[in-house]
Amino acid sequence: MSLPPIVVFDLDGTLAETAPDIMRVLNVILVREGLPALPLDRARELVGAGARALIERGFKVSGQPLDAETLERLFEDFLAIYADDVASHSHLFDGVLGALDALTDEGYALAVCTNKPILHTRLILDHFDIAKRFAAVAGRDSFPWFKPDPRHLTMTIEAAKADASRAVMIGDSRTDIATARAAGIPSICVPFGYTDVPIETLEPNFIIQHFDELPNAVDRALNLVPARP
């Protein structure tokens, strides 16, 4: 039996608007450390590189130094606070459920490949009741490698028992594009996620404005993949 084609999704800023909860937890940390809370509109420049980087960036915006020992302590605190409430202020982007249904009906396997820890990833997917839709879910700590290392993506595809020669990566950032490019897999990006530069400047294979466009974009993207012997 041949392996199915697969569509692999990033999570934060791609499937779901998670910045409100991420920023909420960051602000708990900042305020507790005597720093001002940051507005949600700073999320695009702060979110997207993991919790450690988020905390570092939050301190940098506030003009405060942050030593390595304090960073690790705050990182562990962040993970614990976040796990208690990962999604009360988050939501799936419009059209996500319909796109997942359409892709499944077309025979695509689905997977998630994110640099969010696997605990928080599964909590979010469970919160939105979509975990069962994915043949594999991989977080930052699922394998020895994480994005932009292409092995994070290719091992996710392997875990989903799908065909890496007929795979597409869906994301919102330079990390997703770089990971897909290194793996020889086309990328499709949304422009409403967490990126510090306009997504078109990063040259993904396709950009969609709404998830209604995704099934057609996936079909088109797979035509870019050369036949393999």
- Positions annotated as catalytic residues are 10
Transcribe 77-95 into DSSP letters. HHHHHHHH-SSTT-EEPTT
17, 90 contact by CB (below 8 A): yes
CA–CA gap between residue 60 and residue 66 (Å, rounded): 8
Cβ burial 133-162 (10 Å sphere, 16+ → b, else e): bbbbbbbbebbeebbbbbbbbbbbbebbeb
Q: What's the start-to-end Cα distance of the chain, in Å?
A: 17
CB atoms within 10 A of CB 74: 22
Task: Yes or no: say if 9 and 170 are a contact pair by the CB < 8 Å rule.
Answer: yes
Q: Name the E strands within the chain.
A: 6-9, 16-17, 91-92, 109-113, 136-138, 167-171, 187-189, 206-207
Distance of CA 17 to the CA centre of its chain: 10
Cβ(16)–Cβ(92) below 8 Å: yes
CA distance 151 to 14: 20
